[in-house]
């Protein structure tokens, strides 16, 4: 019996699960958080609110600065939206403060998915389950074996609503993008027809968001991944990205193209040159919003960019990037909630594309998440969600 089919429905509020600090990039942390939540669900326990990591260090773990979950996402909103599915608790909810029952996650090739699931099942036996707290030690939850279908992850991601402070910053950035776009459109319309320019005022101003992965550490990583997986559709040069974005037929030009790029590229003016005349590329500094970002640590900066990309009229990313993949998953959920049951139909809004995969007319390939996938592994490796799907599982 699979883990997904063996879940209990009630979420106990007097039994808890504790996990290690969650680390790495924003979306790796979101996956780790969801995986910890689903583990707690399997054990029919409340997950004690874990610490996220404000900074981005991959090796110097001792330098990681912890950040509470509720500094980024609304705690009560999460429990409201996920009521009956999973639940977060605070350490103040503990009653007897007895010593937790500790288990250690195995590692290495011998620690198979089956052994991992067996360990979880043993934790549901009375000898362990009687403990108020089960503490899982060892590696970051992102590295745990995945036993859960994509639709379960999607349910949890849907419950993650940023706090008001971050939401206000997101609104400022998007407003600035649309303001620039409105000025460009008005200027062009005015040069052609004064009446047309006046009528364009107040209309919805679309924008395109491109998650541009061309920084050195990414290029090293993706080259190694191409060798490991024996494929050549992971890395994309700046020139390839610009060309494939320009060939997306659904993009109505002129339009602002917001470039979600790493801080190391903000001083590289070349990322703004070479674009087609109808595409106006802007990054944080050129847009004039770097002041909003720089007052926050890495994790919040990334959360702002995630929301800006998720809400774009058109999104273009790399299918092997976790950031891009979770943006597309959220956009797929929006389409499902809007009642669309096929991604093969005509343009319906919230369209997404993968620039590392060649699509129609030489442009980036249309991209939707397969919500019926049995686990999230394909999202991590860009293999289960680059297609035109007509069989979405809409029971989110």
Distance of alpha carbon 25 from alpha carbon 34, whole angstroms: 14
* Residues facing residue 89 across a β-bridge: 48
- At residue 392, the pLDDT reads 36
Q: Is pLDDT above 90 for 379?
A: no
- Give me the CATH code for the 164-378 domain, please: 3.40.50
pTM above 0.75, yes or no: yes
Distance of alpha carbon 304 from alpha carbon 10, whole angstroms: 34
Find out whether 72 and 306 touch, Cβ atoms under 8 Å: no
Q: Is pLDDT above 70 for 396?
A: no
pLDDT bucket at 390, cuts 50 / 70 / 90 = very low
* 153-189 residues labelled b (16+ CB within 10 A) or e (exposed): bbbbbbbbbbbeebeebbeebbebbeebbbebbbeeb
Each residue's pLDDT tens digit, 271-324? 999 999 999 999 999 999 999 999 999 999 999 999 999 999 999 999 999 999
Each residue's pLDDT tens digit, 325-370? 999 999 999 988 888 766 555 566 789 999 999 998 899 999 999 8
- At residue 64, the pLDDT reads 77
- At residue 4, the pLDDT reads 47
- At residue 9, the pLDDT reads 58
- At residue 382, the pLDDT reads 56
């Amino acid at each position: 019996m699979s883990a997904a089919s063996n879940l209990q429905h009630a979420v106990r509020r007097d039994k808890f699960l504790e996990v290690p600090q969650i680390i790495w990039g924003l979306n790796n942390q979101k996956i780790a958080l969801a995986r910890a939540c689903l583990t707690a669900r399997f054990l029919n326990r409340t997950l004690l609110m874990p610490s996220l990591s404000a900074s981005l260090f991959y090796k110097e773990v001792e330098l990681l600065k912890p950040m509470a979950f509720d500094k980024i996402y609304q705690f009560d909103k999460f429990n409201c939206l996920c009521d009956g599915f999973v639940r977060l608790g605070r350490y103040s909810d503990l009653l007897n403060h007895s010593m937790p029952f500790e288990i250690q996650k195995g590692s290495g090739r011998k620690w198979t998915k089956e052994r991992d699931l067996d360990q979880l099942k043993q934790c549901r036996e009375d000898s362990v389950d009687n403990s108020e707290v089960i503490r899982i030690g060892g590696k970051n939850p992102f590295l745990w074996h995945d036993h859960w279908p994509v639709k379960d992850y999607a349910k949890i991601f849907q419950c993650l609503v940023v706090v008001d402070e971050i939401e206000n910053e997101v609104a400022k950035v998007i407003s600035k993008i649309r303001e620039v776009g409105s000025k460009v459109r008005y200027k062009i319309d005015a040069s052609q027809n004064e009446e047309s320019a006046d009528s364009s005022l107040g209309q919805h101003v679309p924008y395109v968001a491109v998650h541009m992965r061309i920084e050195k550490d990414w290029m090293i990583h993706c080259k190694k991944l191409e060798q490991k997986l024996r494929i050549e559709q992971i890395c994309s040069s700046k020139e390839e990205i610009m060309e494939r974005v320009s060939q997306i037929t659904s993009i109505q030009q002129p339009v602002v193209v917001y470039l979600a790029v790493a801080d190391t590229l903000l001083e590289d003016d070349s990322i703004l040159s070479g674009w087609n005349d109808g595409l106006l590329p802007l990054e944080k500094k050129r847009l004039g919003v770097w002041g909003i970002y720089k007052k926050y640590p890495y994790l919040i900066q990334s959360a702002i960019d995630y929301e800006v990309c998720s809400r774009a009229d058109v999104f273009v990313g790399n299918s092997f990037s976790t950031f891009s993949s979770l943006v597309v998953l959220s956009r797929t959920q929006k389409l499902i909630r809007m009642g669309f049951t096929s991604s093969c139909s005509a343009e319906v809004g919230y369209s997404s594309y993968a620039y590392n995969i060649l699509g129609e007319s030489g442009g980036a390939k249309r991209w939707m998440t397969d919500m019926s996938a049995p686990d999230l592994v394909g999202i991590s490796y860009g293999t289960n969600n680059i297609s035109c799907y007509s069989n979405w599982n809409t029971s989110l």
